[in-house]
Amino acid sequence: MRYGYVIDTGRCVGCDACTIACKHNNGTPPGVFFAQVIHEEKGEYPNAYMEYTPLLCMHCKNAPCVDNCPTGASLRDENGAVYVDADRCIGCRQCIAGCPYHARWYIASDPKGYYPEKGMTAKESAEFGEFGVGKVVKCTMCRERVAEGEMPSCVQTCPSDARVWGDLDDPDSEVSVLIHTMHAKPLAPEYGTEPSVYYI
């Protein structure tokens, strides 16, 4: 089994719900975005348009971050999700250097929270322990949620159903059908990492 995503940029309305869901539900500190959407204007008046590119870790089949990791902290699980074992991470950041999609984040100092002048909120205090100084963090394809039978947060929340998630190995899954019928392609395939995220 290999989970993956299809992102329909035609359906995406650029609302950033995926980004915000990811932040709240993974409790990431300010400045850390496992999910994000690039908003870019293209074209000339009056045919201009916004191009939205939702991003996340591509959970590559040939993930250079996994290959680059000297301690074996970067791992791929049985469902194809790439994640970091914080206990083994030494913060060398070779994974960051090797990732062509800029999907990893290095925690350089203690997170201060969203209200540094007021101290940590209860939620931040409970969650920021996950973001140890000197560690690399990233999108895990919401492994804990998936284990509970849920979809990744960014997929479930999407107001326009622009993010679809499922088993790439199942030719009948919605993601496989969409890849086939809508000719979905990964971003920057020239890096040869075989991303698990496809774009329409």
Partner 1 sequence: MSITRRTFAKGALGTLAATALAGGVAASDVFAPKAAFADDAASRGEWKPSWCTNCHLPMCATQVLVKDGIVREIKGDPDGCNAGRLCPRGLSNIGTLYSPYRVQSPVKRTNPEKGLDVDPQWVEITWDEALDIVAQQLLDACAYNPSSIAACEGFGSEENFMNSPFFIALGTENVLPTTGSLCPEHFNQLHDNGQILDRVDLEHCEYVLEVGRTMSNNFAATADEQCAIYADAYRRGTKFVVVNPMSPHSAQRGEWVPILSGTDTAFALALIHEMIHELGQYDAWWLRMRTNAPYLVADEAVFFKPDRETHRGTYCKNAAGKTLCWDEKAGCAVPFDAPNYDDFALLGTYEVDGVTYKTCFQALADYTADKTPEWQEPLTTVPADKVREIARDLVEHAHFGATIDVNGYTFPKRGSVVYCGRGMACHMLGTEAGKAFGIINAMLGAVDVPGGMQGNNNASWVEFRTDSDGMIEPWLNMPEQVTGGEGLVYPPTVIDLHQWYPTFHNNPYAMWEVMCDMKKFGFDYEMKVLYAQGSDPLSSMVTSDYAVEALKKLFVFEINNQYDQLSQFADVILPDNSAIEKDAMWRLCETQKCCDDRTRGLMGQMVRRPAIEPIYNTRNAEDIKIQILARMDKLSGAQAPDMSKVVDFGAEVIGPMMGGAFGYLPIYNFIYNGDFQDACFPDYPSDALPPELELDPFTEYTYREIVDRKLEALKGCKGFEGFELSYFDKCAFWRYELPLEQGYNYWWAPENQVRMPVYFERQGRIGQELQNSCEALGVTVPGQDMEHLYSHYGALPMWYEEGAAWKPTEEFPLKLINWKIHYGVNYNGQLGENAVLQEVVDTFNPQVKRLWINPVTAEQYGLAEGDVVSIESEFGRFGAQEGKVHLTNLISPQHVGIPGNLGRKSLYMRPQEDWGINFNRMISPEMHTVNPCNTGLEASPRVKISKVK
Binding to partner 1 by residue 102, rule CB under 8 A? Answer: no
- Phi, psi torsion values for 67, nearest 5 degrees: -65, -35
Q: Which is nearer to partner 1, 66 or 151 (CB)?
A: 151
Residues 124 and 128: their CA atoms lie apart, in Å, by 6
Three-state SS for 155-187 is HHHCCCCCEEEEECCCCCCHHHHHHHHCCCECC
Stretch that binds partner 1, among 57-65, 84-92, 93-101, 112-120 (CB under 8 A): 112-120
Closest approach, Cβ 57 to partner 1, in A, equals 17
State which H helix or E strand residue 9 sits in.
none
Position among 67, 115, 133, 188 found at the interface with partner 1 (CB under 8 A) = 115
Q: Which is nearer to partner 1, 88 or 192 (CB)?
A: 88
Among 199, 197, 200, CA closest to 61: 197
Position among 112, 146, 187, 194 found at the interface with partner 1 (CB under 8 A) = 146
Residues 133 and 109: their CA atoms lie apart, in Å, by 5
Residues that bind partner 1 (CB under 8 A): 1, 8, 10-11, 13-17, 19-21, 23-25, 27, 30-31, 33, 36-39, 41, 43-50, 78-79, 114-115, 118-119, 121-124, 126-127, 143-144, 146-151, 153, 155-162, 164-167, 170, 172-174, 177
